[in-house]
Chain A
């Protein structure tokens, strides 16, 4: 049956896109297919993976999150000013990672409450939260961004454990957590249902608003974690720590096969999409594509990947928005 074939192809297409790009770059550039480069790609994709997991649930429910960069900035500054740094007298160590993550979760919670309870479209709310949290970050930053002096957290951000980058290990844990949430909890299942048809879910008596708030809080939490970890890596709290991550994350989620309309996709697909993007940016440097052409090449490849992933979905009646 076409429907079944479509379903199968759909879930395999993102993996196919990833494999094809790996093989392609591997053939074109000899240094690409090495273990060392595998870890380079893993390190590059660590923070985008964490962000993609959070965003997946929001998009699965049919909402959108444009606040990623702002939340990352706010949590980055929170983190940098709580660890041993050159601006405040604090030295809270690992606890500041928890604080920064909670700050992100708080901002996400705020987004969720305004979206679900006050019925403002998530597009507008997250845009507002983006701007507001960017403002908080700028206030905290003042005229001198705080430098992180805690050697343990710097080692977490820069170091490796048994050759594997630490941040990638964190990212794998987050992806697993996301997968468990998606597959084995009501939150995951109902998110799918809400995205598939919110009116239906409400008629069924599901606590739709609650799950929406939860999804935004979880997304904020992971943006917060991502912002703090990125700071640990580059060594300071910075308002631009998430620059460019919002579009990259949404792109990764969508080329992974999670539909922007909601109700279709999942955490593992988003992870594949993220890895594909990381392979593309890494591979283009290996192959030696001129930076002047890279943007257009990347755009073309993203279009191609999106086409591959959505090809089986071109059914007659599907509504594309």
Chain B
């Protein structure tokens, strides 16, 4: 790889100036001039709040870092498209391009990492990837993988649920699509908590395929079948939690039976604030949409050494999740402020939300 040696001193000073407060000793030579750096957020679509927030997070970082070249790539749920969009873009100026990727499916990670290794572009991936694949196994351009521990999410909401129930009574559980990893792990989180809470019993579990409309009639049927025995409703995502909440509303029980979900979508946060839901867990889309770009920028500007020399737990780590309850809901309903994230974007604080090595 050829290094850009032409970077003017003034520019270096400027980059350093932005992060002067916490700048560590310059760890490597800059790879790119700041004006050459191109930031790419690759995700499914922006019709859902989660994805829209990924994009907002990315733009927030770009504006904060003073980088003008920000590209949004949407694949509309098409894995091949996600890969080919990347390949098209790296045809030009790959070595100064950073991809922050929300993989459409686990299996797109490998081809995208391969494309980065071949072209010299840089990539950070999120959520999950196929087993046996690691950034530290010779994938020098795969800066890092930021994994989300679905078991932790399941445990977190289940703990809040049983507490809200006074650790006694029956609970019903709405599962996600049974063949998906997050569905399995979030439910395992519930089972783990129930094992340690003998007073709470699982009355029934059904799958509503992550879907709000499907959750509604299932909740209705449970209300008919179990009636007053239901003291808590557990859902593997917020959409199903909100569907169940409407079924509770129909019989005047909204806000009277605790409901929990996962994802932290705005409506769920609003329901938490109103007291109709007890808790939801968020991976913080603003953070996920920006951290990869921040890592890449730190590498390209030479403020951190090349990823190949990083310890393993910096290349592949679990993200600390944010549990949203009545106490902190208001904070997450507001538009994101850069100040909330600046601490995470500093080149020496890139791992501030890591809970340790993933997988």
Residue in B47, B207, B214, B267 whose CB lies within 8 Å of A138: B47
- CB within 8 Å for A143 and B225 given contacts A43-B220, A234-B216: no
Kindly supply a per-residue 1/0 record for chain A positions 257-291, scoring 1 wherever the CB is within 8 Å of any chain B CB and 0 otherwise: 00000000000000000000000011001101001
Complex interface: chain A residues within 8 A of B134 (CB): none
Q: How many whole Å from A101's CB to the nearest CB in chain B?
A: 19
**Looking at the complex, which of B2-10, B48-56, B85-93, B120-128 is the stretch in contact with chain A?**
B48-56
- CB within 8 Å for A31 and B224 given contacts A238-B213, A243-B211, A292-B178: yes
Query: Is B284 an interface position by the 8 A CB rule?
Result: no
The answer to whether B221 touches A40 (Cβ under 8 A) is: yes
* Interface size, chain B (Cβ < 8 Å): 34
Q: Which residue in chain B gives the minimum CB-CB distance to A45?
A: B217
Residue in B175, B250, B266 whose CB lies within 8 Å of A144: B266
The answer to whether B214 touches A239 (Cβ under 8 A) is: no
- CB within 8 Å for A159 and B250 given contacts A238-B212, A238-B213: yes
Q: Which B residues from 235 to 270 make CB contacts under 8 A with A?
A: 242-243, 246, 249-250, 266-267
Query: Is B45 an interface position by the 8 A CB rule?
Result: yes
The answer to whether B213 touches A243 (Cβ under 8 A) is: yes
The answer to whether A282 touches B211 (Cβ under 8 A) is: no
Complex interface: chain B residues within 8 A of A238 (CB): 212-213
Complex interface: chain A residues within 8 A of B47 (CB): 138, 141-143, 239
Complex interface: chain A residues within 8 A of B250 (CB): 158-159
Q: How many whole Å from B4's CB to the nearest CB in chain A?
A: 37
The answer to whether B213 touches A31 (Cβ under 8 A) is: no
Docked CA distance A100–B266 (Å): 26
Query: Is B206 an interface position by the 8 A CB rule?
Result: yes
The answer to whether B214 touches A243 (Cβ under 8 A) is: yes
Q: How many whole Å from A183's CB to the nearest CB in chain B?
A: 31
Docked CA distance A286–B221 (Å): 8
The answer to whether B211 touches A43 (Cβ under 8 A) is: no
The answer to whether A240 touches B213 (Cβ under 8 A) is: yes
Kindly supply a per-residue 1/0 record for chain B positions 198-223, scoring 1 wherever the CB is within 8 Å of any chain A CB and 0 otherwise: 00000011110101111011101111
Query: Is B18 an interface position by the 8 A CB rule?
Result: no
The answer to whether A44 touches B224 (Cβ under 8 A) is: no
Q: Which residue in chain A gives the minimum CB-CB distance to B50?
A: A143
Query: Is A236 an interface position by the 8 A CB rule?
Result: yes
* Interface size, chain A (Cβ < 8 Å): 36
Query: Is A199 an interface position by the 8 A CB rule?
Result: no
Query: Is B26 an interface position by the 8 A CB rule?
Result: no
Q: Which A residues from 197 to 245 make CB contacts under 8 A with B?
A: 230, 233-236, 238-244
Docked CA distance A224–B117 (Å): 49
Q: How many whole Å from A58's CB to the nearest CB in chain B?
A: 23
Docked CA distance A239–B47 (Å): 9
Docked CA distance A243–B239 (Å): 13
Complex interface: chain B residues within 8 A of A11 (CB): none
Q: How many whole Å from A22's CB to the nearest CB in chain B?
A: 15
Complex interface: chain B residues within 8 A of A159 (CB): 250
Query: Is A107 an interface position by the 8 A CB rule?
Result: no
Docked CA distance A238–B213 (Å): 9
Q: Which B residues from 28 to 79 make CB contacts under 8 A with A?
A: 45-49, 51-52
The answer to whether B222 touches A143 (Cβ under 8 A) is: no
Q: Which residue in chain B gives the minimum CB-CB distance to A160?
A: B250
The answer to whether B246 touches A233 (Cβ under 8 A) is: yes
Complex interface: chain A residues within 8 A of B204 (CB): 285, 288
- CB within 8 Å for A240 and B225 given contacts A44-B220, A142-B47, A234-B246: no
Q: Which B residues from 165 to 210 make CB contacts under 8 A with A?
A: 175, 178, 204-207, 209
Query: Is A296 an interface position by the 8 A CB rule?
Result: no
Q: How many whole Å from A282's CB to the nearest CB in chain B?
A: 5
Q: How many whole Å from A315's CB to the nearest CB in chain B?
A: 38
* Chain A residues within 8 Å of B, Cβ to Cβ: 29, 31, 34, 36-37, 40, 43-44, 138, 141-144, 147, 158-159, 230, 233-236, 238-244, 281-282, 285-286, 288, 291-292, 294
30 contacts between A and B (CB under 8 A): A37-B225, A40-B217, A40-B224, A43-B217, A44-B217, A141-B47, A143-B46, A143-B48, A143-B49, A143-B51, A144-B49, A144-B52, A144-B266, A230-B213, A233-B246, A234-B213, A234-B242, A234-B243, A235-B246, A236-B267, A238-B212, A240-B212, A243-B211, A243-B214, A244-B211, A244-B214, A285-B204, A285-B206, A285-B218, A291-B206
